[in-house]
Copies of this chain bind each other. A is one copy, B any other.
């Protein structure tokens, strides 16, 4: 027992590392799971990536990411669906049951937000049975509302659950990411509602100022204003007992040696998250 049994490294957090180096980093740091990104997997090769994580005895907590399902133009829509089917096959090969979906923003120049949201629902209906056949669950990730225009028209846990609930629970789940959801007055209630729909718990902290472009402002757990005690307890009480994946987009973190980043996130996990994973 090293206190890291529930920890997973999302590999974007050590962006400078290859997949092979990240796998080795996890093994060395005693982190038992890793969340993979498709571009990094492609760099290393799909089969080779799969055998590297297997050989290291790592669990693959998720694959990031499918999604971008809001195109209305028929060709673009077909390309997006095919790309998502490809992502499902990659997830299956890598041995993970969780494909994270970042659903996509408004189509270029578009203003029809309800239409974009319907497009996501329609795409889920096409993709979920396909994914389920491969034993892969689609995990809808609500992104912070500041990404609504350009990254994800799914902005709240409530909305993600509305999208997921028409499907069997093991076909479509949701991602609970502290950065995206911490502000939501509905969060505690929606977590209780989510229950077994929670496919992934991702953590990083809200730090200020929001940087230009909004993407790279996330901090290590404990560096910002998210109450990880309350959030972790609520996630645990909802019944979630899977990995806690640390996913940080931040130029400063990316400029830090990977070993140091891993040491920091392990320490934060032990102190600020792990003690509350029993819900008490």
Instruction: Mark contacts of A132-160 with chain B using CB atoms, 8 A cut-off: 1 yes-contact digit, 0 otherwise.
Output: 00000000000011101110000110110
Partner of A183, one of B145, B182, B211: B145
Find out whether the CB atom of A106 lies under 8 angstroms from the CB atom of B225: yes
Find out whether the CB atom of B159 lies under 8 angstroms from the CB atom of A185: yes
Instruction: Mark contacts of A166-196 with chain B using CB atoms, 8 A cut-off: 1 yes-contact digit, 0 otherwise.
Output: 0000000000000000111110000000000
Find out whether the CB atom of A182 lies under 8 angstroms from the CB atom of B150: no
| Known A209-B212, A210-B214, A212-B209; contact A148-B113, beta-carbon cutoff 8 A | no
Which size class do A's interface residues fall under?
A: 20 to 34
Q: Which residues of B contact A19 (CB under 8 A)?
A: none
Q: Which residues of B contact A117 (CB under 8 A)?
A: 185
Q: Is A74 an interface residue (CB 8 A)?
A: no
Find out whether the CB atom of A149 lies under 8 angstroms from the CB atom of B225: yes
Find out whether the CB atom of B184 lies under 8 angstroms from the CB atom of A226: no
- Which residues 71-118 of A sit at the B interface, judged by CB distance below 8 A? 106, 110-113, 117
Interface residues of chain A, those whose CB is within 8 Å of chain B, are 106, 110-113, 117, 144-146, 148-150, 155-156, 158-159, 182-186, 206, 208-214, 224-227
Instruction: Sample 8 A-B pairs with CB under 8 A, ordered by A number.
Output: A111-B227, A112-B227, A145-B146, A158-B185, A159-B185, A209-B212, A209-B214, A210-B213
Contacts A111-B227, A149-B183 aside, 7 further interface pairs with beta carbons under 8 A come to A111-B225, A112-B227, A113-B227, A117-B185, A144-B146, A145-B145, A148-B183
What 4 pairs between A and B have smallest CB-CB spacing? A148-B183, A210-B214, A111-B227, A146-B146
